[in-house]
Structure 1
Amino acid sequence: MIPLMRELKLNAEWKVFTAPDSFFEISKKMHNALQGNMEIHFSDEEISAYLSQAKSTYKQIQPQGDFIIIHDPQPCPVIKFEEKRKGRWLWRCHIDTMNPNPQAWSLISEYLPLYDALVFTKKEYVQKGINNLIFPITPSIDPFSDKNRDLGDDHAKEIIEKFVPLDKPLITQVSRFDPWKDPLGVIDVYRIVKETIPIRLVLIGSLAHDDPEGEEWLEKVRNYATGDPDIYIFTNLDGVADLEVNAFQRMSDIILQKSIKEGFGMTVTEALWKKTPVIGGNVGGIKLQIEDGKNGYLVNSVEEAAEKALFLLKNPNLSRKMGNMGHEKVKNEFLLIKHVENYLDLFLSLSK
């Protein structure tokens, strides 16, 4: 989005802060708590570290401009360290906060009134008692990036066959190795479908420095797969990067996104753009993208996901029709140009 804004002669910058590994343990807990994990509790020491990092972040990024957008809970308190505020400050939340852990919500909610406006993916994510200006804005994809640009079927097949044979139908899920993405449930779906139709399952996830749970959940997924030769599990460390993800999303018969919670679900957008039907969890931002029965299916259980997968595999013409409709949905609503337009409208509104 930054390059496109610059093309429009906006002096846009993207700033990133650094933090010790211990902070990312806290920020992952914060993410999970805000998404609804009620068992999480933050100690006084963790709260102190959280606020201390916010002060460090403020010093690192030195925020200034007509519009300052702070993303997600990790740096949310930085606004308290700005003594002489200039410009308009916005907090952008990418998480499904429909039912947050009360302690986690209280840790950020005291800073939200300091912001001029809040941006959520869905209005339903806004908690009661928030009186700020609220702007619902969805994320977007860049159709010209390596992950989303057109590859052509032959090139895509050539890429995939370096990793997986294409002699059976392919079901793929691309997401972090994370309990909210329900990768074990995805394997259960595959096992039910395989009883009727020979298929292969691919699970692709990126291991990120700020996601300390990733390695742990990757190991859980590998153990749950129990050496099934038709289950393939890849990470970015296996050479599966943006171009490879593009190929898998493009050539898979079905993309699963069986999330239990999902702020938006960019992998759903990416797959729909590539005309691949998606079966997604009936939650959060996935419901903004999938029109049930039209460009994919929304499901509430393993059994329902397996039923829809079998139906699509047995009805390839309908599957192609759904894929085409998914592409149009993304073209009209979730491309980068629309995202920038929404922010320009927001800036204009705050300037009046």
Structure 2
Amino acid sequence: MRERTKAMLTEQATANTADREALESLIGPERAARLREAADSIKERLGAGGTLWHVNSTGAGGGVAEMLHTVIPLYRSLGVPARWAVIGGDDRFFSITKRLYGALYGSIGDGGPLGDAERTDYLANLTTVADAFRELLGPDDIVILHDFQTTGLIDLLGKDVAAMYWRCHVGVDEQTEASTLGWDFLTPLLDHADGLIFSVDWHVPPRLRERPVTILPPFVAPFIPKNRDLAPDVIATALARSGLSTGPAPTEPTTVDLGGRPVHLNHAATVVSVGPPEPGQPIAAQISRWDRLKDMHGVLAAFTTFVPEGYLALVGPDPASIPDDIEQGVWFQRCVTDWQALPPDLRARVALICLPMADLSENAVLVNAIQRAATTVTQKSLVEGFGLTVAEAMLKSRVVVASAVGGIRAQITHGDTGLLVTDPTDLATFGSLVTTALADTPENHTMGVRARRHILDNFLPDREVVTTAQMITT
């Protein structure tokens, strides 16, 4: 049971200079100069005593926290005073915000109401948060709030700071009855925001299109354990721990050095399979939450029905490590049941893998290695906010087969930087595209190279800083 908590402030260490230098080397001198100019603009806007705050509801796990772990140190390395606050709440608060999560993705979620009583309880929790947070804020501060857990802080804290912006990382391509209810709940709380931020323009609901809106997609952090280059021996060790290589899995802890950052591989994955892929057998992998909207069971059905060759790895977190999200266990068990019902020859071509979550750096290395071992990476989401796992795989020059939903459409141009299925429920077309992507052809190699270039050009951390500077100085 969560207790009602005051705001927690997570102070991250100053950026590793090597990462800043590596980023500037990766983006080139012109973009590096624009990055520094943007930082100078932010510092000028903040004045002598201001701080740029980011606020969300978790310090670890999920794309938002992952980005903040990168961008806060980057800001500091550029001389921008930047801090990160993580808000807390009670069970009632998180029950309401989970309902909002489902609604904004177009789903009824648990079917519970989002009315006046829920808004009262939601704001009561955030009033407690605001009382604690107010002691940390100054009149020249600029605050960027992330997602529906924080929206009520706009009115509660707006008069205490220079500006408040709200960023939404979720959405639907077409509004539904459920999403309309979600926006009915949130829209009155946005009236006094200085600006709104969405990942893609088609996720801005019609009622907010007249507000000041900035389009800012998430970014890929190229030097974190999930994305940085891995030595062949590290990949081999990680695959052995994940049940994707022949031979016994290591029984002793292994420490790998990622550019001076040791990561300990201490925990084995939970693997449901007949055995690993055969040497040289092409691998299709989807790495997602065990979540209805990620449609892992749909990938399993499409692969075993319409993909004649290759091996499928469905990879997600260990549901036992996420006790407050029982749905992950339900949907993982759905995949296990479907796998068990397969004929033996098909069952031997599929692995269901639950990665350990005790150490997030360890988890990230395992994900990285699996993406690099895969011939193709899939993301057959039914709906999607942005789908940063797509960009991560594209950065590794993988041909991604994905649904043409949400922010995935901003990342992949079909046939150029990846392959898209228009209807996520069309299993035959999805299977055909996976079959194409598994083939060892010059066309697929070239597509993977273009995919990496597209991510490097459009979805790195410098875009976050440059766009933020433009937003707060306009």
Question: TM-score over 0.5 for the alignment?
Answer: yes
Pick from 277, 283, 296 the counterpart of residue 170 of structure 1: 283
Equivalent positions of 1:32-51 (< 5 A) are 32-38=102-108, 40-42=111-113, 45-51=117-123
Aligned to 1:81: 156
Q: Displacement, 1:223?
A: 2.4
Q: Deviations over 1:109-149 (max 9, x none)?
A: 00112100000011211122323210000000110000000
Q: Displacement, 1:242?
A: 0.3
In the alignment, structure 1 residue 23 sits paired with structure 2 residue 93: yes
**Residues 340 and 206 (structure 1), Cα distance of their counterparts in 2 relative to 1, 3 Å cut:** farther
Q: Displacement, 1:38?
A: 4.6
Pick from 222, 236, 244 the counterpart of residue 157 of structure 1: 236
Aligned to 1:231: 351
SS at match of 1:248: helix
Pick from 317, 332, 341 the counterpart of residue 205 of structure 1: 317
* Cα distance in 1, alignment partners of residues 453 and 431 from structure 2: 26
Equivalent positions of 1:7-18 (< 5 A) are 7-18=77-88
| Contact kept? 1:115, 1:132, Cα under 8 Å | no
Q: Displacement, 1:219?
A: 2.5
| Partner amino acid, structure 2, of 1:140 | F
Q: Displacement, 1:171?
A: 1.1
Aligned to 1:52: 124
Q: Displacement, 1:212?
A: 4.7
* Cα distance in 1, alignment partners of residues 299 and 158 from structure 2: 49
* Cα distance in 2, alignment partners of residues 221 and 92 from structure 1: 34
Aligned to 1:90: 165
SS at match of 2:222: coil
SS at match of 2:86: coil
Q: Please identify, of 284-293 and 66-75, the stretch whose mean Cα deviation from structure 2 is larger.
A: 66-75
Q: Please identify, of 205-214 and 314-323, the stretch whose mean Cα deviation from structure 2 is larger.
A: 205-214
* Cα distance in 1, alignment partners of residues 328 and 357 from structure 2: 13
**Residues 329 and 7 (structure 1), Cα distance of their counterparts in 2 relative to 1, 3 Å cut:** same
Q: Deviations over 1:275-299 (max 9, x none)?
A: 1110011111000001100121110
In the alignment, structure 1 residue 284 sits paired with structure 2 residue 406: yes
How many residues of Structure 1 are paired with residues of Structure 2 in the alignment? 348
* Cα distance in 1, alignment partners of residues 407 and 428 from structure 2: 22
**Residues 237 and 251 (structure 1), Cα distance of their counterparts in 2 relative to 1, 3 Å cut:** same
**Which runs of no fewer than 5 residues in structure 2 stay unpaired?**
1-70, 246-276, 342-346
| Partner amino acid, structure 2, of 1:31 | Y
- Cα RMSD, aligned residues only: 2.2
Aligned to 2:213: 134
| Contact kept? 1:173, 1:255, Cα under 8 Å | yes
| Contact kept? 1:275, 1:323, Cα under 8 Å | yes
* Cα distance in 2, alignment partners of residues 52 and 222 from structure 1: 41
| Partner amino acid, structure 2, of 1:24 | F
Q: Deviations over 1:215-246 (max 9, x none)?
A: 33223232232273432221334876000000
**Residues 105 and 94 (structure 1), Cα distance of their counterparts in 2 relative to 1, 3 Å cut:** same
* Cα distance in 2, alignment partners of residues 186 and 83 from structure 1: 45
Pick from 369, 387, 390 the counterpart of residue 268 of structure 1: 390
* Cα distance in 1, alignment partners of residues 329 and 81 from structure 2: 38
* Cα distance in 2, alignment partners of residues 206 and 132 from structure 1: 41
* Cα distance in 2, alignment partners of residues 127 and 83 from structure 1: 23
Q: Displacement, 1:262?
A: 0.8
SS at match of 2:383: coil
| Contact kept? 2:97, 2:149, Cα under 8 Å | yes
Aligned to 2:16: none
| Contact kept? 1:259, 1:280, Cα under 8 Å | yes
* Cα distance in 1, alignment partners of residues 395 and 164 from structure 2: 33
SS at match of 1:92: strand
| Partner amino acid, structure 2, of 1:4 | L
| Partner amino acid, structure 2, of 1:123 | D
| Partner amino acid, structure 1, of 2:413 | E
* Cα distance in 2, alignment partners of residues 267 and 83 from structure 1: 34
Aligned to 2:31: none
Q: Please identify, of 226-235 and 305-314, the stretch whose mean Cα deviation from structure 2 is larger.
A: 226-235
Q: Displacement, 1:210?
A: 6.2
Aligned to 2:198: 120
**Residues 5 and 323 (structure 1), Cα distance of their counterparts in 2 relative to 1, 3 Å cut:** same
| Contact kept? 1:273, 1:331, Cα under 8 Å | yes
Q: Displacement, 1:318?
A: 2.1
**Residues 23 and 224 (structure 1), Cα distance of their counterparts in 2 relative to 1, 3 Å cut:** farther
Q: Deviations over 1:162-187 (max 9, x none)?
A: 32124222111111111111111111
